[in-house]
Structure 1
Amino acid sequence: MSDHVVTVTLNPAIDLTVSVAGLKPGAVNRARAAQSNAGGKGINVAGCLADWGVPVIGTGLLGRGNESAFTAFFRHKGIEDRFVRAPGETRTNIKIADTETGETTDLNLPGLTADAGLLQAVETVLEETVLPGTLVVVAGSLPAGLPARATADLVARLNAFGARVVLDCSGPALAAALLAEPQDLPAVIKPNRAELEAFAGRPLRSTDDVTAVARSLVRRGIGLVAVSLGAEGALFVTAAGVLAARLPPVPALSTVGAGDAMVAGLVTALRETLDPDALARRAVAFAAAKLGGIGPNLPPRADVGALEAAAAVSGPADIRLGLSA
């Protein structure tokens, strides 16, 4: 088993986060601050893992036209850069963070167009990098030009290499991956409630509803289904049972990347073979720790540890979901 973790980001982005006190649609809004970061779900996960001291290899697709933001980020974090370069520019995502409400409005711009040749180049990197037992995070959306099946096919290929795949995506790509043959399923998935509802094709109005769908996926062969529920915490479903974890309210500067931080927390817990209770604490602590800052960064390790200690872990009945999605 290799010591490093591999993250795969096929559709990264430069995240431009603009902070506004009280966003007013249709009016002139004066920004308080703006910050640009290398982003994309897998890259965000890699940044948090690197902050925790985990050796990380990042791969996926990057546009040559604006790669400098990413190369600087990888160098700063100590992430090994094995991204495949493509003509053009990586997309920019604009995040409008309302400091009064804690809500974030996303404007995601189009990015690179990929083809089978570029995807094959990424798979070649993975074949050269992944050893049996390697934790591989496949995260985020697909670029234009690739079919929804591409994520599922990539997971199947990684399984053939002996990887332990942690998947965090949404929409048709997630559905295709979850409907794959049992041997081609990811080991771990981290949907949020809305993503699980989209897959199920119906509202999931209660904890029992969410748990039932998660359990059906575990029965199909997924080892762990971690469902993030925002301020309500998260549910962790395995064949052994269901745990709920949550933290006291934490002031949020930006919610961008909290789910990615949760994935990083899960990966560190799996890498350290933590028990289910400790895994749940670690995952929600990483997510909460991320709320206090902008960009794919964790606060000092002691701060994350304090959040782990403060987390409440219980049965799923202790979480009460609202009726909205």
Structure 2
Amino acid sequence: MNAALHTVTLNPALDQTVTLDELRAGGVNLARAAQLNAGGKGVNVASCLADWGHPATVHGLLGQANSRPFEQLFAAKRLPDRMLRLPGDNRVNIKLADLKSGLTTDINLPGLQAAETDLRALAASLAGLGASDCVALAGSLPPGLPPDSLARLCSQLKRQGAWVLLDSSGPALAAALANPPAALPDCVKPNREELEQWAGRPLATLTEIAHCAQDLQRQGIARVVVSLGEQGALLADSDGARLASLPPQRPLSTVGAGDALVAGLMAARQQRLSGDDSLRLAVAFAAAKLQCVGPHLPEPQLIRRLAGEVRLQTLAAA
């Protein structure tokens, strides 16, 4: 039986993406276009999975006051909605997409205020997940929740037998990675900066990144995937460390590429792909996402073509 896919988003957001010919700091900027999308890491992951043909059930905490865009997305993509509703507004994140440079500037506002009782209610709603389930714990924590919130959810899901992927940063990531071995996630996906923050040192070269990822993998995490932007992504597992890359892609928007990478890893897990093929598919998801504004992927045929073009390079063992 194929694994059922689930995402958990504690800090969802409305992403306001403003497209500019060129961003001029300190000046008046005329937008070419603006688009509002329901987002947050887990929501983005579920949306991309739906475009691949494998919709995930969405769990998490959602503000009632501006929930309509999320509900419209869930309905349009047939995503089973198990989000708990809280009083108040979800945060708004402003994304300034500079077409000339290909860079995106993010302005992220504070999230919905949550409480320990909300976390306990969410944990209770996840109690039925088990060995046939694949769960992505994705994103930051809203104000009011302690740094170990994701660590606690990860520990619970592992006890229940679920396969868990964690994509977070800062104290929330550090707390989850400090869990006992049996409660560690099966896969983590930091980017370079997040891995450096966890390690407490700069990682200037691919070799240093690979060695750090392998150190983390040896602590009990089966797969460590580090997203590296234009360089691709690095996988450390029991077979060693490999870098997957594609020729540079001209992006329409870089927003959500890391979330698409996570969606690719989830899809690969459901399809029972090998480590190498999982990495190929994940990098193809991320590259394809560059052509879309909002939490969407292009046609699956493009993703399959890109996956076939991914180049794998074995890196020196630590």
Relative to the length of structure 2, the TM-score reads: 0.97
- What is the letter of the counterpart of residue 104 of structure 2? T
Q: 2:183 — aligned with what?
A: 184
2:259 aligned counterpart, secondary structure? helix
Which whole-Å CA distance do the structure 2 matches of 1:304 and 1:193 have between them? 24
2:49 aligned counterpart, secondary structure? helix
- What is the letter of the counterpart of residue 293 of structure 1? C
Which whole-Å CA distance do the structure 1 matches of 2:147 and 2:122 have between them? 17
Deviation per residue, 1:139-189 (Å, 9 max, x gap):
000000001111111110111111110000000110111111111100000
1:5 aligned counterpart, secondary structure? strand
1:284 aligned counterpart, secondary structure? helix
Mapped contact 1:2–1:131 kept (Cα < 8 A) = no
In the TM superposition, residue 53 of structure 1 has moved relative to its aligned partner by 1.1
Which whole-Å CA distance do the structure 1 matches of 2:125 and 2:101 have between them? 42
Aligned length: 316
In the TM superposition, residue 276 of structure 1 has moved relative to its aligned partner by 2.1
In the TM superposition, residue 134 of structure 1 has moved relative to its aligned partner by 0.9
Which whole-Å CA distance do the structure 2 matches of 1:28 and 1:12 have between them? 30
In the TM superposition, residue 137 of structure 1 has moved relative to its aligned partner by 0.2
Deviation per residue, 1:32-74 (Å, 9 max, x gap):
0000000000000000111111131001010100110000000
Which whole-Å CA distance do the structure 2 matches of 1:59 and 1:278 have between them? 28
Q: 2:86 — aligned with what?
A: 86
Which whole-Å CA distance do the structure 1 matches of 2:175 and 2:67 have between them? 30
Which whole-Å CA distance do the structure 2 matches of 1:315 and 1:303 have between them? 26
Q: 1:265 — aligned with what?
A: 264
With over 3 angstroms needed to count, the CA separation of the structure-2 counterparts of 1:2 and 1:10, relative to structure 1, is farther
RMSD over aligned CA atoms reads 1.0
Q: 1:323 — aligned with what?
A: none
1:167 aligned counterpart, secondary structure? strand
Q: 1:196 — aligned with what?
A: 195
Q: 1:255 — aligned with what?
A: 254
Which whole-Å CA distance do the structure 1 matches of 2:227 and 2:219 have between them? 20
Which whole-Å CA distance do the structure 1 matches of 2:312 and 2:41 have between them? 26
Q: 2:45 — aligned with what?
A: 45
Which whole-Å CA distance do the structure 1 matches of 2:229 and 2:281 have between them? 15
- How much identity, in percent, do the aligned residues show? 50
- What is the letter of the counterpart of residue 206 of structure 2? T
In the TM superposition, residue 2 of structure 1 has moved relative to its aligned partner by 6.3
Mapped contact 2:18–2:31 kept (Cα < 8 A) = yes
In the TM superposition, residue 3 of structure 1 has moved relative to its aligned partner by 3.8
Q: 1:286 — aligned with what?
A: 285
Deviation per residue, 1:174-230 (Å, 9 max, x gap):
011111111110000000000000000010011111111111111110000000111
Moved over 4 A (4+): none
1:183 aligned counterpart, secondary structure? helix
In the TM superposition, residue 277 of structure 1 has moved relative to its aligned partner by 2.0
2:57 aligned counterpart, secondary structure? strand
Mapped contact 2:3–2:132 kept (Cα < 8 A) = no
Mapped contact 1:155–1:177 kept (Cα < 8 A) = yes
Q: Which runs of 5+ in 2 are unaligned?
A: none
Q: Verify: 1:225 aligned to 2:217, yes or no.
A: no
Q: 1:322 — aligned with what?
A: none
Mapped contact 1:235–1:316 kept (Cα < 8 A) = no
Which whole-Å CA distance do the structure 2 matches of 1:254 and 1:119 have between them? 33
